[in-house]
Amino acid sequence: MRKLCGFAFVLTLIVVVLGAWTRLTDAGLGCPDWPGCYGFHYVPATPGEHALAAERFPAAPLEVTKARNEMIHRHAAGTLGLTILLMALCSFKCVYRSYRWPVLILLVLVLVQATLGMLTVTLNLMPFVVMGHLLGGFTILSLLFWLWCRHRAYSGPRPEVGGLAGVFRLALAALILQIALGGWTAANYAAMACTELPVCQGDWLGQWQWSAFHPHGMPAETYQYGVLSQQERATIHAAHRLWAVFTAGILLTLAWRLNGRPGLRGFGRAIGLMVLLQLALGVANVMLHLPLWVAVAHNGGAAVLLLMLTGTGERLGRFREAKWQEAWHCPQREYESGGTISH
């Protein structure tokens, strides 16, 4: 069961990266229908299939490369759904009952994620739905990693973790909000709204537009390539940058605190290095005008940071459980007679 969980985790990571690739290659509407593609279960390949696709969807001309990117993502996501369904069925065996509730939650999340995937297409890339789809993928990824770590044996040191819980929660909340802002930036095509560093298009504070964060966005027939004004996109981009600075500060503080605790030093060093790499990728996206591989790596870096915090949280929870068990277990007391009594 743990091997199946590990396979599902790796597959989810691939699906998340493929989702970023699909979005960044503007292939979100590469297939205008769902779950098929122009009425087929595969990408139309022959001239006859191309003609039939044009007849079925005259307003959405077939672009084979975009359709292929979209269908690869869908097939990978479908395989993941079947894997988690298999895990859910296996969890009803008594030997796997410790997996049952987390896996059932995962199954519900997959069904919600599939619905969001459908709505992404049928609502023509509505930003709120696109961002929700991204967050759903990250949630499934982190939950699978937590489940895999939870059933992994650990025999290392168990240090005191007092004072870490507050910093960890703040770091996790900041990172989740930063990922959401990154999803909102991508969904509204605001990644290149600011092409300067460290400022953003001159007097960006004077041009701040709170309407950029309206949950439904501007009504439109299609949201592909964005429908917000330049000022609104610059506002989204600037918000993502500003919160990135705050998030990096909190994560580096957490990394420094973890580095001083045995059993957690590896997480601290990994988080610190990943934060610096993620900042560098963000700068490269702006300076190099959003090259595809850098943008995909930036999306993957956010996923890796979330996984590092997930692993840290699982380890902290394990240490706290061990401390509670020690607190409730009274050691044997020695008496003058030489015997011992266990309380």
For 159-196, how does the pLDDT look when each residue is reduced to its tens digit (9 = 90+)? 677 788 899 999 999 999 999 999 999 999 999 988 88
CB proximity list for 141: less than 8 A, separation 6 or greater:
9, 12, 13, 16, 303, 306, 307
Q: Which residue has the tokens 């959003």?
A: 290
pLDDT of residue 319: 80
| CA–CA separation, 286 and 336 (whole Å) | 75
Catalytic residue numbers read 70
Q: For residue range 110-120, list pLDDT tens digits in order.
A: 999 999 999 99
Angle in degrees, CA 116, 122, 127, rounded to 5: 60
Query: What pTM was computed for the model?
Result: 0.89
Other CB atoms within 10 A of residue 337 CB: 6
Beta strand extents in 242-282 (DSSP E only): none
Predicted local confidence at residue 201, as pLDDT? 72
State the burial class of residue 115 (Cβ atoms within 10 Å of its Cβ: 0-12, 13-18, 19+).
middle
Rounded CA separation 205/337 (Å):
79
**pLDDT at residue 131 above 70?**
yes
HSE at residue 201, side-chain half, CA atoms within 13 A, is 18
Mean pLDDT (the chain) is 88
Summary count for the chain: helices (H), strands (E): 9, 2
Lowest mean pLDDT segment, chosen from 90-99, 145-154, 305-314: 90-99
Are 237 and 193 in contact, with CB atoms under 8 Å apart?
Answer: yes
